[in-house]
């Protein structure tokens, strides 16, 4: 179970809308208590590819996020990115680039104006995708 605070969901949504027409991206950090992962902090990063179809996170911003998470005793839980023109599901490229089978991969579809769809996924080492239960609190 993944828990996301409403204000952090709103922060992700705004970042992704502001990034249009390109994909937007970022990192998520929080705490793990048994089977429950709670997102406590969202890091809004720059998509240095400036592309509608893929993203690359700014390495300096990534490093700063990891340092900040450590300083705040948070665990890096995964990342998020938007799909401006496609559904909320990992693309073939998303699966290929999913390097951490323990990470949460959040995808926000903005395909349908006024109806954003955020889902969380796991991608195992064989590149099999599972939908993870997520609750906005």
Instruction: State the DSSP string of 48-75.
Output: TT--SS---B-HHHHHHHHHHHHHTT-E
State the total domains in the chain.
1
Report the distance separating Cα 13 and Cα 135, nearest Å. Answer: 15
**CATH code (residue 122):** 3.40.140.10
Q: Judging by DSSP bridges, how do beta strands 25-33 and 36-45 pair with one another?
A: antiparallel
pTM value? 0.94
Report the distance separating Cα 116 and Cα 137, nearest Å. Answer: 17
Q: Which domain does 98 fall in, by range?
A: 2-136
Q: Kindly report the number of other CB atoms within 10 A of residue 128's CB atom.
A: 10
What's the pLDDT band for 67 if we cut at 50, 70, 90? very high
Per-residue pLDDT tens over the stretch 72-101:
999 999 999 999 999 999 999 999 889 899
| Alpha helices, DSSP H, located in 19-123 | 59-71, 92-97
Per-residue pLDDT tens over the stretch 109-127:
999 989 999 999 999 999 9
Average pLDDT score, the chain: 95
């Amino acid at each position: 179970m993944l828990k996301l605070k409403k204000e952090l969901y709103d922060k992700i949504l705004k970042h992704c809308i502001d990034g249009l027409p390109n994909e937007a991206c970022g990192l998520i950090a929080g705490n793990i208590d048994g089977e429950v992962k709670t997102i406590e902090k969202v890091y809004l990063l720059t998509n240095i590819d400036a592309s509608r179809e893929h993203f690359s996170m700014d390495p300096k911003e990534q490093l700063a996020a990891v340092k900040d998470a450590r300083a705040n005793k948070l665990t890096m839980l995964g990342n998020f990115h938007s799909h401006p023109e496609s559904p909320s599901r990992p693309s073939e490229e998303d699966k290929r680039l999913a390097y951490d089978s323990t990470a949460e991969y959040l995808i926000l579809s903005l395909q349908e104006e006024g109806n954003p769809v955020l889902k969380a996924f796991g991608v195992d080492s064989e590149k099999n995708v599972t939908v993870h239960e997520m609750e906005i609190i």
